[in-house]
Amino acid sequence: MTDRGPDPHVALIVEDDPEVRELAAALLEETELDVVEVASAEAALAYLKDRGGEVAMIFADIRLAGPMDGIGLAKAACTLWPTIRIVLTSGVAGDRLGELPDCVAFMPKPWRGLDVLVEAEKAVQQPQPPVA
């Protein structure tokens, strides 16, 4: 094991619907990841700015309240924190799917719990290599 500092251990849930956010949190709390919930892309970026090295996975809706949506968040995260696994979800993404960055995994709503857990496992077991 190399000395890269502590391994990422946080799942950051970005969802403006409190019920969906709580459902995702309850599911991801069953993994070895710590769960942090925020309601907007702006709040997610603020968290990442302070603690991005701790985040293993971002689980976000494409449609979010506020000036930035999930695609904008994903583009920023792919650039600034390229080792984080990013999963975007939507029930109405439609023609926006072509805008998804290559670094993003897409999961349609309603998502299945097992699929979310598989993505969390990938975030823990198969992290992206650190950027030199």
pLDDT (mean) for 54-83: 95
Which domain covers residue 121, as residue numbers?
10-125
* CB neighbourhood size of 113 (10 A): 13
| pLDDT digit string, tens, across residues 71-117 | 999 999 999 999 999 999 998 867 788 899 999 999 999 999 999 99
How far from 25 is each of 3, 37, 78, 106, 119, CA to CA, in Å?
A: 30, 7, 22, 18, 14
pLDDT (mean) for 9-38: 96
pLDDT (mean) for 37-54: 97
Find the CATH number of the domain harbouring 89. Answer: 3.40.50.2300
Quote the strand ranges of 1-132, DSSP E.
Answer: 10-14, 34-38, 55-61, 85-90, 104-108
Please check whether residue 115 lies inside any domain of the structure. Answer: yes
Gap between the Cα atoms of 87 and 103, Å rounded:
9
Please check whether residue 130 lies inside any domain of the structure. Answer: no
Instruction: Please give the model's pTM, rounded to 2 decimal places.
Output: 0.89
- Residue 57, pLDDT > 60, answer yes
Residues 50, 52, 54, 59, CA torsion sign: positive
- Output the pLDDT for position 126: 66
